[in-house]
Amino acid sequence: MSPKIKTFKKIVTTSWLLVPLLFSTNIAASSLEVLHWWTSPGEIQAQAVLKEALLQQNVDWQDFAIVGGGGESALRVLQMRALSGNSPEAAQIKGPDIAEWAKMGMLNEVDNILPVELWDKHLPNIVKETISYEGHYMALPLNIHRVNWLWLNKAIFEELQLTAPTTWNEFITVAETIKKAGYIPIAHGGTTWEDSLLFESVALSLLGAEKYKQAFVQFDESVLVSQDMITAFTQFKQLYRYTSQDMQGKDWVDASQLLSDKKAAMQFMGDWAKGMWQASGKVVMEDYLCVDVPQSEGLFSYNIDSFVFFKKHNNKIQDNNKRKFVETLISSDFQRAFSIQKGSIPVRINMDMQSFDSCSQKSYADFNSNELVPSFSQNMATSSYLQTEMSKIISNYFHNDKATAEHVVKQLSLAIRAVNK
């Protein structure tokens, strides 16, 4: 564990002891304050479904939303609040971060709120593993996003008579044609996590599931510095010249807008982008298409959204709220309505997917048949702390034309070793 994490853990653990002394809550009996980063159009619509469903149960969702896709800023704010002993009641925490917070003793087990059998019956194994810590479920899973998608602007592809690229060679040919025609080949935002997401998709396609997991889940150094990894970084860098430029301070929402405005032809992004296009009136398969990232057929990098409940000192009414929160969120009606707005797929097994669009139907089928890997750019494989460090290195390499693939693999491997010490 890094010194930074150790220090953070110590401060948080100690400050938690002071909570009852420092704070009293004036939140109304039926309110539930939730920290999250769902602020884009599709995310807001999905959230409206969530708020409405909870309100019907007399639970008033109090927004504590921090702008910033990917959640980097939201997680920083959460740490600050936890440090000052004022954590919200619930927060959007996912992947290995769940265990990090659970280790500090700050989270409520969710299998206390509803019987374990209910969770066991409805959730896929990978979801159960993701939300577990020391034999208990510590988070409430909400939905599953697929990350390794390539989105295409249908009008541009038709106009230029292009077919969806299935290999990286085809991709470069298609990107060249798009560029010559005056369109931006790849809509790409200016955040480091988006660079990371693009690299992840390339790496997964070239390494395959096994080596991807050895590198980014088990941190096997021999894979991290291997020739295959150098090849993945080289391929990734080749995409730079096709990406939208001048995107500093802009993120995936701005990039997705370029695609829906017919300024850009393709985007690598998780299917939350579909939620955004849907919110702006665009129709899947009519305005835009979803295809596998080249050479990644049969592979599925997943991102499971989930909420945790923080321990607070006035538990009585909150427990009641939490139970309603959980019951609502796990119901199939809610799962369907929410995911349709969000662009994701339900977290429940055996759902009837007829009312979903064809991208979500494909995603649900693939989730059940493909090789699944956790998306590291979405904090599913590592803690958000390590993910941020990795993203910085990946991003610096992507934007610096002098940086070499041979050097970045060593840098990345050293950073991972340092953080994991």
Binding site for ligand GAL (CB under 6 A): 37-38, 43, 69-71, 145, 272, 303, 305, 378
Alpha carbon of 179 to those of 14, 184, 218: distances in Å?
Answer: 56, 6, 39
Nearer to ligand GAL, 226 or 388 (CB): 388
- Report the nearest approach of ligand GAL to the CB of residue 41 (Å): 11
C-beta of 71 vs 165, nearer to ligand GAL:
71
Tell me the β-bridge partners of 64: 35
Whichever of 278 and 303 has its CB closer to ligand GAL, that residue is 303
DSSP assignment letter at 243: B
Return the number of the residue (69 or 185) whose C-beta is nearest ligand GAL.
69
Of the two residues 139 and 229, which places its CB atom closer to ligand GAL in the complex?
139
CA distance 82 to 315: 17
Minimum distance, C-beta of residue 169 to ligand GAL, in the bound complex (Å): 30
Amino acid at 190: G
Rounded to whole angstroms, the Cα distance separating 309 from 373 reads 26
Q: Read off the amino acid at residue 270.
A: G
Q: CA nearest 108: which of 326, 302, 384, 303? A: 326
> Is the CB of residue 191 less than 8 Å from the CB of residue 286?
no
Closest CA to 178 of 153, 198, 199: 153
Nearest CB to ligand GAL, comparing residues 235 and 387: 387
Least distance from ligand GAL to the Cβ atom of residue 131, Å: 14
For residue 7 the two structure tokens come to 């220090």
The residue (of 97 and 409) whose beta carbon lies closer to ligand GAL is: 97
Which residue's beta carbon is nearest to the bound ligand GAL?
A: 69
For ligand GAL, the closer of residues 266 and 269 by Cβ is: 269
Q: In whole angstroms, how far apart are CA 61 and each of 29, 39, 72, 139, 416?
A: 12, 15, 22, 17, 38
* Dihedral of alpha carbons 341, 257, 385, 373, sign: positive
Burial 106-138 (b: 16+ CB within 10 A, else e): bbbbbbebbeeeebeebbbeebeebbbbeeebb
Q: Shortest distance, CB of residue 101 to ligand GAL, whole angstroms?
A: 16
Least CB distance to ligand GAL at residue 377 (A): 9
DSSP state of 348: S
Shortest spacing between CB 38 and ligand GAL, in angstroms: 6
Residue 263 CB, nearest distance to ligand GAL (Å)? Answer: 21
Q: How far is the CB of 259 from ligand GAL (least distance, A)?
A: 15
383/335 Cα distance (integer angstroms) = 27
Sign of CA dihedral 164, 168, 170, 171: positive
